[in-house]
Structure 1
Amino acid sequence: MEKAFAKNLRTLRKERKLSQQKLASQVGVTQQCVSEWEKGKIEPTMSPLWRLADVFDISIDELIGRKELI
């Protein structure tokens, strides 16, 4: 999950012109947390994954790379 998730997160965030800080605020985490997710240093737990999927209006499978992004 790690590499696909990190790449997808960064791509989705940039496509929607969101800063790391803005996304962090929407998901309820710190900007540092979003940065570390995008670098592949850490992985989110289920709660932030659900919130990220809601923010981007995609499934968790798409977010973590189990299904291709549409």
Structure 2
Amino acid sequence: MILFSEQLKKYRNRKNLSQEDLAQKLFISRQAISKWENGEATPDMDNLVKIAEIFELSLDELVLGKESEKVVERVVETKAEKHMNGWEFLAGYWWLIFPLGGMLSWFLRSLIEILH
């Protein structure tokens, strides 16, 4: 775990955190951080996860020093490109049937009364 101790010290310094600051975030003693950085002890899994979250790293980056491959893919869909078929329209606007049906029945009733 020598690599971990080096990683811990490196990322703690990058975040400008003292051992005391990091210990407070993890709710442990400063001496525990010192032992981890000197390779005298290792944190348990819960603390490893918390440390990775504090430093915004993956566990591989923190423990093994492996850089994670971050692939960010962004898909932007414009309204002009998207064509809605009949089923999608009905699924999205089915509720329009009721007000339109009500207006149509009112109109037809009025029209029938006028014609008779």
The answer to whether TM tops 0.5 is: yes
Q: Look up the match of 2:40.
A: 41
Q: Superposition RMSD on alpha carbons, in Å?
A: 1.6
Dislocated runs of 4+, deviation >3 Å:
none
Which one has a bigger Cα radius of gyration?
2
In the aligned structure 2, how far is the partner of 1:69 from the partner of 1:18? 23
TM-score normalised over the length of structure 2: 0.56
Higher RCO (Cα < 8 Å, 6 or more apart): 1
One-letter identity of the residue aligned with 1:48: N
- Closer, same or farther in 2 for the Cα pair 1:22/1:56, shift >3 Å? same
Unaligned runs of 5+ in 1: none
Unaligned runs of 5+ in 2: 70-116
Counting aligned pairs with the same residue, the percent is 35
- Would the aligned equivalents of 1:63 and 1:69 in 2 still touch at CA under 8 Å? no
- Would the aligned equivalents of 1:7 and 1:38 in 2 still touch at CA under 8 Å? yes
